[in-house]
Copies of this chain bind each other. A is one copy, B any other.
Amino acid sequence: MTEIEVQLQPRYSVQVGKDLLETVQVPHARVALLADAAVLETFAPKLAVSLERGGSSVSIHALPAGETCKTLETHARLLSSLAQERLTRDAAVVSLGGGATSDLSGYVAASYLRGIAFYAVPTTLLAMVDASVGGKTGVNLPEGKNLVGAFHQPRGVWASLDTLETLPEATFREGAAETFKHGLLANSSLCDRVLEPGFSATSANLESTVSDAIQVKADVVARDPHEAGERAHLNFGHTLAHALEAFTHHEISHGDAVGYGMHYAAILSSLAGGDDLTHLTRAFLEYQQPRVLPALTWETLEPFMARDKKADSAGVRFVLLAGLGKPKLERVPNALQLEAWRAFCADLKLESR
């Protein structure tokens, strides 16, 4: 088992290892366990038993599976459930599931009585290395992804690697996107490990790979908890990714969208004068095998990019890589964005321009 300390106020730790569900206990008399419907039968009962052994009285709430739970309607429904159970300020929310589950659950915890304690038990690779660290919580609007939310740090995170073995292989590969991204940003050996033949949920080095990926994010977040600066770098690849997700109404998964988004951002970085890292992002797509993109033109996509949260009234800013481990936030002329899009389509043999 590996423990990563996240140096925030208050500081908390992320446990990474096998069979951790049996060890999860929290110092709260009452716990609302918010579980993705997909793990309701498998992991939720096990986690509830562990929490109750620790002295907590637990109520289990099922969330719509995956990204569909991230709505203000589900947020409102859960808040009413917590109020009907008369949970008080000393109660806690524990989330169990992927990144969408912890985004929604964390926002419920942030909102109820203006904030109660939150703990996360991520069950996907993506959630382990991304959503469970950093305190970004929130939901989507019909107008775009993650447009509503709060910063609300978890008090503890348990990344139980055995949960990954039950996932379809495609979900694991999809989830490797954020791990690979953290490699590009600050630890290139992570990229090597992801691209090693056979990287999977049963890889012998999985614990150290996941831990190292979490460490990259923990370091960045500790230096910039509210995204005043450096933290925006974690959005490498996310401007196109969020646009693809919104455009396809989330038919494309976040991991796959980030896979495409990183390749686009690498092309854009190189056009803007940075090192050419497109061989890495292309190799990642070959490993990831993301869902094929629907036909879409720059004209239809561009409005979705303009809605990016990193935009200010002067326009969209992109995270670019000057080289491996050298991210920066920059405005990019529209003409260059379009040129990169054309190169992206040509490289991936996409029909549409």
Which A residues form the contact surface with B (CB < 8 A)? 29-30, 72, 75-76, 79-80, 83-84, 86, 88-91, 110-115, 136, 138, 141-144, 147-151, 306-307, 309, 311-313
Chain B residue with Cβ nearest A90: B312
- Docked Cα-Cα span, A13 to B115, in Å, equals 26
Measured CB to CB, the nearest residue on chain B to A310 is B89
- Which residues in B have their C-beta under 8 angstroms from that of A110? 150
Residues from chain B with Cβ under 8 Å of A30 in the complex: 313
Pairwise interchain contact B143-A84, C-beta atoms closer than 8 A: yes
Once A114-B136, A115-B150 are accepted as A-B contacts, the answer to whether A83 and B313 lie under 8 Å apart by CB is no
- Count identical subunits in the complex: 2
**Chain B residues within an 8 Å CB radius of A306:** 86
Residue on B nearest A89 in the bound complex, by CB: B312
* 25 pairs of residues in contact across A and B, judged by CB atoms under 8 Å: A29-B313, A30-B313, A72-B72, A72-B75, A72-B76, A72-B79, A76-B76, A79-B141, A79-B148, A80-B142, A80-B143, A83-B144, A84-B143, A86-B306, A88-B313, A89-B311, A90-B313, A91-B313, A110-B150, A112-B147, A114-B136, A114-B148, A114-B151, A115-B150, A115-B151
Q: Which residues of B contact A148 (CB under 8 A)?
A: 79, 111-114
Q: Which residue of chain B is the closest to A303 with respect to CB atoms?
A: B86
CB-defined contacts of A89 to chain B, threshold 8 Å: 309, 311-312
* Complex interface: chain B residues within 8 A of A144 (CB): 83
When the two chains form their complex, are residues B150 and A111 in contact, meaning their CB atoms are under 8 A apart?
Answer: yes
Greatest chain B CB density within 10 A among A84, A90, A112, A113 is at A113
CB contact between A141 and one of B80, B90, B138 (< 8 Å): that residue = B80
Closest to A87 in B: B313
Residues of B within 8 A of A147 (CB): 79, 83, 112-113
Minimum CB distance partner of A83 in chain B: B143
Contacts of A86 in B (CB 8 A): 306-307
| Further 6 A-B residue pairs, CB within 8 A, beyond A83-B144, A89-B309 | A72-B79, A76-B76, A88-B313, A90-B313, A114-B149, A150-B150
Least CB distance from A341 to B in Å reads 21
Query: In the assembly, what is the distance between CA of A138 and CA of B115, in Å?
Result: 11
Is A149 a contact of B80 with CB atoms below 8 Å?
Answer: no
Cβ of A78 to closest chain B Cβ, rounded Å: 11
**Most B CB within 10 A of own CB, among A30, A86, A147, A148:** A148
- Residues of B contacting A151 in the complex (Cβ-Cβ under 8 angstroms): 114-115
Inter-chain CA distance A42–B112, complex, in Å, is 35
Query: With the chains together, A29 CA to B150 CA distance in Å?
Result: 23
Contacts of A136 in B (CB 8 A): 114
- A19 to B151: give the CA distance in the assembly, Å: 37
Most buried by B among A84, A147, A149: A147
Q: Which residues of B contact A143 (CB under 8 A)?
A: 80, 83-84
The answer for the CA separation of A111 and B110 in the assembled complex, in Å, is 10
